[in-house]
Structure 1
Amino acid sequence: MAAPKNRRSVFLGRLPLPERNFLADALRTETVGGVLLLVAAVAALIWANTPLRGSYETVRDFHFGPGSLGLNLSVQHWAADGLLAVFFFVAGIELKRELVAGELRDPKAAVLPVVAAICGMAMPALVYFTVATSGNGSTAGWAVPTATDIAFALAVLAVIGTALPSALRAFLLTLAVVDDLFAILIIAVFFTSGLNFAALGGAVLGLVVFWLLLRKGVRGWYVYVPLAVVNWALMYNSGVHATIAGVAMGLMLRCHRHEGERHSPGEHIEHVVRPLSAGLAVPLFALFSAGVVVSGGALSDVFTKPETLGVVLGLVVGKAVGVFGGTWLAARFTRAELNPDLKWPDVLAVASLAGIGFTVSLLIGELAFGTDPVLTDEVKAAVLVGSLIAAVLASVLLKLRDNKYRKLCADEDRDDDQDGIPDIYEQDNPAYHLRMAAILEARAAEHRRLAEVASGHTTRDDGPA
C-alpha cells in the first residue's frame, strides 16, 4: 500500500548507505585536515608570541611573484588569495554534489539545513551589529562571525573522541556547505571594489572556456590546471576576490554519475584535490593568518572593544541560537520530525559546534579591516577566542550524550551476516532475514554441540556415538 501523502519526514534520520559511505570518506579527510589546521594555528601562535616573532613577520610579509602581472604578493596574501582558492574549489564541488546527489537535491529535505544555515548566519551578524553600534564601534566586521569552519569543527570532534551518528555529521557538513555558499556571496558582493572590467571579462571568458572543455569531455590535468591558474590570476586582478574563481570552477564539474561510471568527474577530482586542500592549503593559510600577538592586555581587549566583543558573542551566542532556532522553526512549521533516537540538546550541541568559525572568519576579518592592521589582529584574536569558547561549550554538550552516540554508531556499523552491508540497511530485505535465520541456527547448533561435549555426550552426523 502506498505511503500516505501527508507522512512526516524524519529529521536527522538514517542516511542512505551510498550517502553515508561518501560522507564517511569525506569526513576522514576533513578530520585529518582539521587536526593539521589545529597544529598550524597553535604553531602560528607560538611563533608569533616568542622571541622568534621577528622571523614570523619577515616570512609572512615576504613578497614574491611577477609584478608585471599584478601578482607580486606577500606570503600571507598568496596563502589567503591563492591557496584558499583550492579550498573554495573543493567547497564548490561539495555544493554541486549536495545539489545533485546530497541533502540539498530534494527541496523538502533541504529546507531544514538551509533555514538553519541562513538563521545561523543572520543571527551572528545581528549580534555583532547590535554590539558594535551600541558601543560606537565599526560595523564593517558584521560578516566575520557568520561562517562555520567544518574542518576545525571535525578536528574538535576528533580530539574529544565523540562518535557522532552519521546523520548529525551530515547535518553539520550540510550546514557548512550552505555556510560556504553564503560566505562566498558575502565576499563577492560586499568585499569587491574598484572593478577592472577588462580583467573581469577575461576571467569570465576563461570560465566559459573551462565549462566548454568539460562539456566536450576533454581530459588531462595539463589542460585544466594552467587554465585554472589563468582564471585565478584574471579574477584576482579584476578586483573580485580570487577565491570566487575556485568556487565557479568547482560548480561547473559534473557530479552525477552516468551509466557504468563508478565515480563522476566531480567526485574523482574532489577525491584528488581534497587532501591538497585539507592537508596543505588550509593549514598554510592558518599558519600565516593566525599568528597574532596574544597578551593579557590583548585578551582583555577582546571582551571590551565593541568590534572584538561582537565577534566573540556572534560566534558563541549568535551561531548557537541561530542554528538551533532556525532548525526548531523549520521542524515546527514543516513536516519534519526529529529522529526519535536523538534529542533537541543534540541539535543544540551541533549548533554550538557551528560557532567554530576559523578559516573563512579570519579571511573576512582581513578583508573587513585590512586598512587597520592593529584592529585586524584584534579581530583575529577575537575569532580564535570565540572559536575556542564555542569548541569547549560544544564539547561539554556532546560529552553529556557520548554513550548514546556510541550506541547509535555501533548500531549503524553492526554487520552480523558479514556481507559488507550494515544490518540496519537490510532489515526490510527478506533475503537478509533468511541469512540471519541460518546464521542464528548455525550458532545455536554450535552451542548445543559444545554443551554436549562439555557434558561428555557427543553427536555424530551419522547417528549417536
Structure 2
Amino acid sequence: MSNQPTRLFSRLTPSTERTLADVLRTERAGGILLLIGTVAALIWANSAWSDSYEAMKSFTIGPEALHLDLDLAHWAKDGLLAIFFFVVGLELKREIVVGELRKPSTAIVPIVAAVGGMAMPAILYTLVNLQDGGSTAGWAIPTATDIAFAVAVLSVVGKWLPNALRAFLLTLAVVDDLLAIIIIAVFFTDDINFVMLAASVACILVFGFLASKRITYWWLLFPIAFASWAFMHASGVHATIAGVALGLMVPAIKAKGEKHALAEHWEHKWRPISAGFAVPVFALFAAGVTISSEAVSAAIADPVAQGVVVGLVIGKPLGIVLATWLVATFTKAQLDRGISWPDVLGMAFLAGIGFTVSLLIGDLAFNGERVEEVKMSVLAASLLAAFIGALMLFWRDRSYRKMYESRSIPVVGHDRMGDAHALAREIGGEAAPAPEDSERESH
C-alpha cells in the first residue's frame, strides 16, 4: 500500500479534461454576453427610455387556458433558466457517473468546499440581519456562484494557472448549483399541486426512458420536456427543477457504437444555447435597476443588502478555504504540487460572483419586495469579489509564468514541447505552448 499522501486538486479524469476545455471555451464567450446583457439592462433602466424597459418586462404572452400567460420577465426567469438548469443536470449526471464526483476521494473536496461556501455566507447574512430592519428571508441569496462570470474572469487573468485548479472551480460550481436547486425546491415552494407534480414526474420518466433507448427525435422529446416543465410550473414547484430532473435522466455512459455518451453530447450541444442566449437574456430582464443617490443610500443602509455583500465577498471565500483546509487537515491530504493556498483563496473569491442564481433566489425570497436593494447588492458584491479574485489570480498567474520561463530549457522542435509539458506536470498545470509550437501543431 502506498504511503504517499492524497493530493488535493490532482490529475483530472479524461472526461473532466474534455469538459474543462469545452466549458472554458463556451463559458468565456457566455460570460462576455452575460456582461453585455447586464450592462444593457442597467443602461436601459437608467435612460430616458426606462418606461419601455418596464413595459417590455411586463408584456404578457402565452396560453391563458394552460395558465402560461406570463410576462416576459417570468418567461426569462422560469423558462430560459430551465435551459440553464437542464445543462446543470447534464453536468451533474456526467460528473456523478464518470467525472470527478464518482469517487469519494475526488468528490470530497469540492463537495465539502461547496457546502462551506454556502453555509458561511448564509450564517453571516443571518447575523447581519438580526439588527432592526433586517430580514432573514434572503439567507440563500449569497450562497450561489455564477460560473459564466467566474470563468470569464478566470480566462482573462489565469492563462498559466494549473488546470486542476480550474477544474476545482468548475466542479465546486456544479455542486453549488445542485445545492442551490435543493434550496429552491425545499425552501421556496409553498403550496404544491400533487396531481400536476405527478404529471410532471411521469413526463420526466418517459423522457428518461426514451433517452435510455436512444430514441432522440427532437419532435418527440421536446414536447415531452415542455410538458414536464409546464406541469412543474403549475404544481407550485419552481419550473427550473424540471430542467435539472430532465438532465439527470440522460445516460452518461456510452452505448455500443457511440463516440460520446448522450449526456456529454447534449451538454456540448446545449451549453452554447444556455451560456450564449438563455442566461444573457435572463440578465437583460433581471439586472435592470434604477441607480440614484437615494437608491444607493437606501441599499447601503439596508441590512439585506449588507448581508448579501458580506455573504458573497467575505462568507464565500472564507467558507470555501476553511472547508478545504479542514479536509486537508483531517484527511492528511496535501495540495497538489505547484498549487498553493493563495491559489485556492483567489479561486474562492471568484466563487463569490453570485449574480444569475443569486438574482433568481432574491426574487423568490422577497417576491417583488426590496428588489432594488437586492439587485444592487448582488451586482456590487459580484463586482467586488471578481475584482479581488482577479487581482489575486493575476498575481499567482505571473508567478506560474515566471516559474515556467525560469526553468524552461531553450531547445528546439519536439524536445521543447516535451520540456514544457514536463514542467507543467511538475508544477501541477498545463503550460501553454510557445506560439511557434502552436503553429507547428496546427499543421
TM-score (norm 1): 0.86
Check if 1:391 corresponds to 2:394: no
User: Which one-letter code corresponds to 1:144 in the other structure?
Assistant: I
C-alpha offsets along residues 129-167 of structure 1, whole Å, 9 cap, x if unaligned? Answer: 000113441110000000000101112223446443211
Contact 1:162 1:399 in 2 (8 A): no
Residue of structure 1 in register with 2:263 after alignment: 266
SS at match of 1:303: helix
**1-structure distance, mates of 2:272, 2:403:** 29
Residue of structure 2 in register with 1:452 after alignment: none
**1-structure distance, mates of 2:285, 2:413:** 46
Contact 2:5 2:332 in 1 (8 A): yes
Contact 2:157 2:397 in 1 (8 A): no
User: Which one-letter code corresponds to 2:105 in the other structure?
Assistant: K
**2-structure distance, mates of 1:256, 1:288:** 37
SS at match of 1:384: helix
Contact 2:133 2:302 in 1 (8 A): no
User: How far apart are residue 212 of structure 1 and its match?
Assistant: 1.8
User: How far apart are residue 247 of structure 1 and its match?
Assistant: 0.1
Contact 2:212 2:251 in 1 (8 A): no
User: Which one-letter code corresponds to 2:136 in the other structure?
Assistant: T
User: How far apart are residue 6 of structure 1 and its match?
Assistant: 4.2
User: Which one-letter code corresponds to 1:391 in the other structure?
Assistant: A
Contact 2:146 2:356 in 1 (8 A): yes
Contact 1:415 1:423 in 2 (8 A): no
User: How far apart are residue 403 of structure 1 and its match?
Assistant: 1.6
User: Which one-letter code corresponds to 1:330 in the other structure?
Assistant: V
Contact 1:38 1:155 in 2 (8 A): no
Residue of structure 2 in register with 1:241 after alignment: 238
Between 1:235-244 and 1:200-209, the stretch displaced more is 200-209
**2-structure distance, mates of 1:198, 1:415:** 67
Between 1:23-32 and 1:160-169, the stretch displaced more is 160-169
**2-structure distance, mates of 1:259, 1:169:** 32
User: How far apart are residue 258 of structure 1 and its match?
Assistant: 3.5
User: How far apart are residue 23 of structure 1 and its match?
Assistant: 0.9
Match of 2:153 among 136, 156, 159: 156
Match of 1:416 among 414, 417, 423: 414
Match of 2:377 among 375, 382, 406: 382
**2-structure distance, mates of 1:117, 1:85:** 22
The correspondence of residues 269-288 of structure 1 with structure 2, limited to 5 A, is 269-288=266-285
SS at match of 1:129: helix
**2-structure distance, mates of 1:30, 1:164:** 17
Aligned residues: CA RMSD: 2.4
Residue of structure 1 in register with 2:126 after alignment: 129
Q: Using a 3 Å threshold, how does the CA distance of structure 1 residues 70 and 415 change in structure 2: closer, same or farther?
A: farther
Q: Using a 3 Å threshold, how does the CA distance of structure 1 residues 408 and 292 change in structure 2: closer, same or farther?
A: farther
Residue of structure 1 in register with 2:91 after alignment: 94
Residue of structure 1 in register with 2:350 after alignment: 353
**Unaligned segments of structure 1, at least 5 residues:** 429-465
Contact 2:12 2:100 in 1 (8 A): no
User: Which one-letter code corresponds to 2:389 in the other structure?
Assistant: A
C-alpha offsets along residues 433-453 of structure 1, whole Å, 9 cap, x if unaligned? Answer: xxxxxxxxxxxxxxxxxxxxx
User: How far apart are residue 415 of structure 1 and its match?
Assistant: 9.0
Contact 1:48 1:291 in 2 (8 A): yes
Match of 2:292 among 291, 295, 299: 295
Between 1:76-85 and 1:128-137, the stretch displaced more is 128-137
Residue of structure 1 in register with 2:430 after alignment: none
Check if 1:60 corresponds to 2:94: no
Contact 1:416 1:423 in 2 (8 A): no
Check if 1:7 corresponds to 2:4: yes
Task: Tell me the number of residue pairs that the alignment of Structure 1 and Structure 2 aligns.
Answer: 422
User: Which one-letter code corresponds to 1:377 in the other structure?
Assistant: E
**Unaligned segments of structure 2, at least 5 residues:** 427-443
The correspondence of residues 156-195 of structure 1 with structure 2, limited to 5 A, is 156-160=153-157, 162-195=159-192
Q: Using a 3 Å threshold, how does the CA distance of structure 1 residues 58 and 21 change in structure 2: closer, same or farther?
A: same
Residue of structure 2 in register with 1:72 after alignment: 69
**2-structure distance, mates of 1:263, 1:325:** 37
**1-structure distance, mates of 2:282, 2:145:** 16
User: Which one-letter code corresponds to 1:416 in the other structure?
Assistant: H
User: Which one-letter code corresponds to 2:394 in the other structure?
Assistant: K
Higher Cα radius of gyration: 1
**2-structure distance, mates of 1:115, 1:406:** 30
Identity of aligned residues (%): 54
User: How far apart are residue 425 of structure 1 and its match?
Assistant: 11
**2-structure distance, mates of 1:67, 1:8:** 61
SS at match of 2:130: helix
User: How far apart are residue 85 of structure 1 and its match?
Assistant: 0.1
**2-structure distance, mates of 1:396, 1:419:** 30
User: How far apart are residue 253 of structure 1 and its match?
Assistant: 0.7
SS at match of 1:50: coil
Q: Using a 3 Å threshold, how does the CA distance of structure 1 residues 131 and 426 change in structure 2: closer, same or farther?
A: closer
User: Which one-letter code corresponds to 1:146 in the other structure?
Assistant: T
User: How far apart are residue 417 of structure 1 and its match?
Assistant: 5.9
**2-structure distance, mates of 1:326, 1:391:** 21
User: Which one-letter code corresponds to 1:380 in the other structure?
Assistant: K
Q: Using a 3 Å threshold, how does the CA distance of structure 1 residues 425 and 253 change in structure 2: closer, same or farther?
A: farther
C-alpha offsets along residues 109-131 of structure 1, whole Å, 9 cap, x if unaligned? Answer: 11111100000000000011000
User: Which one-letter code corresponds to 1:218 in the other structure?
Assistant: I
Residue of structure 2 in register with 1:200 after alignment: 197
